[in-house]
Amino acid sequence: MKHLLTLLLFSALLTACAAEQATLSPAPVSTSPTDPAAAPSAASETASPQPSATLIATAELPRASSTPLKAETGYGWCADGIASCFDDGYSFPLTRPIPTTIDPTYRFASTQNGDREIHHGVEFYQASGTPVLAAGAGTVAFAGDDMTEKVALWPGFYGNYVVIEHTLAGQAVFTLYGHLSKMDVQTGETVAAGQKIGEVGASGSAIGSHLHFEVRPGQDNYFAARNPEMWFAPLEGAGALAGRIFDPDNPKVRGAVRIQRMQENKIADFPAYQPMDIYPAELVIENGENFALTDLSAGPYRLTYLYSGKVYEYFVEIRPGILTLITIVLD
């Protein structure tokens, strides 16, 4: 099958965005191909098995632009796709429930190499008793436990948990905080962003003390979960990357996109690479992103994707406080 690759690199500057604003202007876009000869060689690719051919596509480092783009929709948290998420730049609508890094070994949509169920959230590993904060202002939709009721894959999945309903750009968005050791709020209570709502624990099916955090746009349902990494800002000095990779002839493309840090036009020794698992079909909204990663140190990166015996290679620049969006079409 002949493959036609189209690479669009998007970059949006982080700005404040009023939660009550129902209609936001479209995303900025910048696309400008550069000389492929200037890109690093793919000879250092360590994927196994080694493909017989390597396809290389490069693009100019992404930069902000005032040019609106209406064609791309579906990324992240917006009711009408990413085009409704922008004013002068992308606004991350929520804050972290714990102001620290997430667990990189069990990200959204991953399975820890097939050892666990598909993850519908992210984990914050912290000691029991660590304060858990509301990711945004809203109303407590639920505060209790699921020990006798199946609200996820089995009873006792979350243990003690809290769900908060927020209104963002006119859309109802629910955040869930699971495995709590203590709950400081009650159903129906109004909470402020950053308010303490409970404490980290290991209730339910937790493996060790941690917070399980989910984002559910539109409805309070386990199967409505979307990637929280698209919803809160990167840590200081870091950026975020998200994208969509698909083959029109194969709507269930799976695998992982690998990302490697570049230094002086070479792959950095550490970390060797980070995988971004492609979401299963049931976790992808129409035209939405199907991989994402936050808290990437600012700088140049190499992306590779092994597909049908070939390695597809791209280079992007991650900038502090910025969400970089990529669309890769294989046709």
Q: Where are the domains of the chain?
A: 5-93+234-330, 122-224
**Topology classification of domain 5-93+234-330:** Immunoglobulin-like (2.60.40)
The dihedral built from the CA positions of residue 117, 183, 187 and 169, taken in this order, carries a sign that is: negative
pLDDT value for 271: 64
Instruction: Report the relative pairing of strands 68-69 and 266-267 from DSSP bridges.
Output: unpaired
pLDDT band at 158 (very low <50, low <70, confident <90, very high): very high
> Which tokens hold the place of 265?
């036009």
Q: What is the mean pLDDT of residues 110-128?
A: 86
On the question of pLDDT at 131 being above 70, the answer is yes
The highest-level CATH class for domain 122-224 is mainly beta
Cβ-contact 204, 161 below 8 angstroms: yes
Q: Give yes or no for residue 44 having a pLDDT over 90.
A: no
DSSP state of 15: -
How many CB atoms are located within 10 Å of the residue 124 CB? 21
Distance CA 325, CA 239 (A): 11
DSSP symbol at 39: S
Tokens describing residue 325: 């969006």
| 73-to-44, 83, 87, 243, 285 alpha-carbon distances in Å | 35, 6, 15, 12, 10
Nearest to 211 by CA among 118, 99, 94: 99
Q: Residue 26: pLDDT above 50?
A: no
Q: What is the mean pLDDT of the chain?
A: 74
CA of 102: how far to CAs of 125, 234, 293, 295, in Å? 7, 11, 11, 9
Q: Is the pTM of this model over 0.85?
A: no
Q: pLDDT tens digit string along 215-257? A: 999 899 999 999 999 899 999 999 988 888 888 888 778 888 8
Q: Would you say 79 and 232 are in contact if contact means Cβ atoms under 8 Å apart?
A: no
* The pLDDT of residue 13 is above 60: no
* DSSP string of 154-211, one letter each residue: STTSSSEEEEEEEEETTEEEEEEEEEEEEE---TT-EE-TT-EEEEEB--TT-SSSBE
CA distance to 126, 176, 193, 285, per residue, from 280 (Å): 28, 21, 31, 11
pLDDT surpassing 60 at residue 109: yes
